[in-house]
Amino acid sequence: MPQTDSKISYDKGHLKSEELLLLYRAMLKPRLIEEKMLVLLRQGKISKWFSGIGQEAISTGVTLSLQEDEYILPMHRNLGVFTSRNIPLHRLFSQWQGKASGFTKGRDRSFHFGTQEYRIIGMISHLGPQLGVADGIALAHKLKKEKKITAVFTGEGGTSEGDFHEALNIASVWQLPVLFCIENNGYGLSTPTNEQYKCQDLAERAAGYGMESLILDGNNILEVYQNISRLAQNMRENPRPVLVEFKTFRMRGHEEASGTKYVPDELMAAWAKKDPIENYRQFLSSEEILSEDLDKKYKAEIKAEIEEDLKTANAESAMEFDESKELNDVYENFEYQDFAPKENAEELRFIDAVSQGLRQSMQKHGDLVLMGQDIAEYGGVFKITEGFVEEFGKERVRNTPICESGIVEAAMGLSIKGMKSMVELQFADFVSSGFNPVVNYLAKVHYRWGQNADVVLRMPCGAGVGAGPFHSQTNEAWFTKTPGLKVVYPAFPYDAKGLLNTAFNDPNPVLFFEHKALYRSIRQEVPVNYYTIPFGKAAKLREGNDVTIITFGAAVHWVLETLEKHPDVDADLLDLRTLQPLDTKSIFSSVKKTGKVIILQEDSLFGGIGSDIAAMINEECFEYLDAPVKRVGSLETPIPFAKALEEGYLSKAKFEAKLLELLQY
């Protein structure tokens, strides 16, 4: 029979009636769930809701086009992704109520979660980072020679973020099988598309990255399902990224409290006529595929399932706070395995020890991938990975575009697929360009939904080499205060190699600081074999009774120079080596013995880790102190370039006087 009332033109192609009905029911389920949620919202039984009403054809069509073990990274309005993957509704309801049967143990809400069981990787509120994460998952598929694709969603507003452009560029350069799905639904909260971008169609942007693109009617389930099914199969055989723009509309507010008063009435009315479910129902009815009785049966079954699963979720107890559980879930459990150093040793510079540890970790971990600017044939700006391409190949030693954020996100994606990665930040200063995924994705992901981030970020840092304000920072304090990250900062070649090996064994994100001024100036006998050093264990370099000196990094060597000038100073010297976890036991033990303590850091004083250590000492060792805790840090300015200015800036110049002053107290 011909179509009668439908405002959308459908072509069922070779699809059978069973498949056509499956698509209808797949769209109907999230719609009925949403209608129930809106009732509960008005009753005050849920706190917030992001509606996808009017966009169901995209979520369900894409999800059903993919294989069940292919990853999808959805957004707020993609309930159809979750229902099409057959997640039990009571678990979704528990998630939205912040209960234990959800996916985040009450620690995050709505669709801010992932589940490896269903191959769904949820968003974070910053939107853009998931695009780069999709790159990492797809890269893992490609490296493992798996014929799989990854689908990732964003809205038209999210395409304004830098992460969008970085992710598309990386995917194109590396030819990654990522299906980038833009749900162009008219508004980013209240901002219309004409205030978001000036091109006619967002699909046009693909050409700038050497990618192909496609524009689909996002309200036409058959157009979505058939085109994405064909495209997905082609991408599995011919891996490459494709950008798909789905034209659709958001029929409700950004979230329910926002309302839709900013939308012209005529625009709302026009899109209401293109409702994807009502139009498809009319089409199936006109084709005598869906009867009124069958439609009622579907609705009754879905509503009954909703009510039953709501009862299950409602009956579940609310979360109760358990401090030990909260703390224990910040990091993935790491069982340290000790690999002992052997007697056979050679004298190595600091930089050579880092390179040797990196090479031996690559040999030990066949799934470890190195990424960074110029690290392949060139060997990196410091030549640490020189020769690695010849030994490990370009698939595992990868030059990257200049896009720190996207590469950190790709590293997260590799971890989701069970691989290890290292990202070399050319200079630690440049991590600010990738700050968001470090502190908001890597750091929080295990606490939020139990996924570890098996990522090491190498951070060449520090002043003293005349590199000026943008290549000289020692910015460990940006990260020591962020739960979920581990921070390592060795001062000697021996420690650098052993701690780096441990970093690659640890399944948690590790920021590994390497002071540039030490690279070629410090030498030491280093065991030739593979060995490890545990995190959270300070090294006591000097034993004494008069004062405790606490420091790390290049400042360790400044202290040693000072003590050589003053052999009469009887000091305990602690090289922290790792800042998170911190060896508080050794700190407190030494302070209780000596009664005086001075903390030296290269970073400017205010807000540095020395302040926290001083506070902890005051809290734990106050009655043992014979003098106030002394902190020494660099000047409260950016780091200058000229030699005299840099020397005046650094805390090195102040330490000797401050130490002698403390001893005389």
| Catalytic machinery residues | 471
Structure tokens at 6: 């439908």
Q: In 3-state terms, what secondary structure has residue 629?
A: coil
| Sign of the alpha-carbon dihedral angle for 64, 68, 71, 74 | positive
**What one-letter code names the amino acid at 270?**
A
- Per the listing, tokens 């879930």 go with 329
CB burial string 160-169: b at 16+ within 10 A, e below: bbebbbbbbb
Query: CB-hemisphere CA count at 13 Å for 501?
Result: 26
Say how many residues make up the chain.
665
The residues, ordered by sequence, that sit 6+ positions from 644 with a Cβ below 8 Å of its Cβ are none
Query: Rounded to the nearest 5°, which phi and psi values hold at 128?
Result: -60, -35
CA 457/CA 438 separation, integer angstroms? 9
Burial of 37 (0-12, 13-18, 19+ CB in 10 A): buried
> Which among 527, 529, 555, 530 has a CA at the least distance from the CA of 541?
555
Contact 569, 561 (CB under 8 A): no
Q: In 3-state terms, what secondary structure has residue 25?
A: helix
Cα dihedral 114/244/162/426 (nearest 10): 80
Burial of 243 (0-12, 13-18, 19+ CB in 10 A): buried
Burial of 83 (0-12, 13-18, 19+ CB in 10 A): buried
Structure tokens at 407: 């590469």
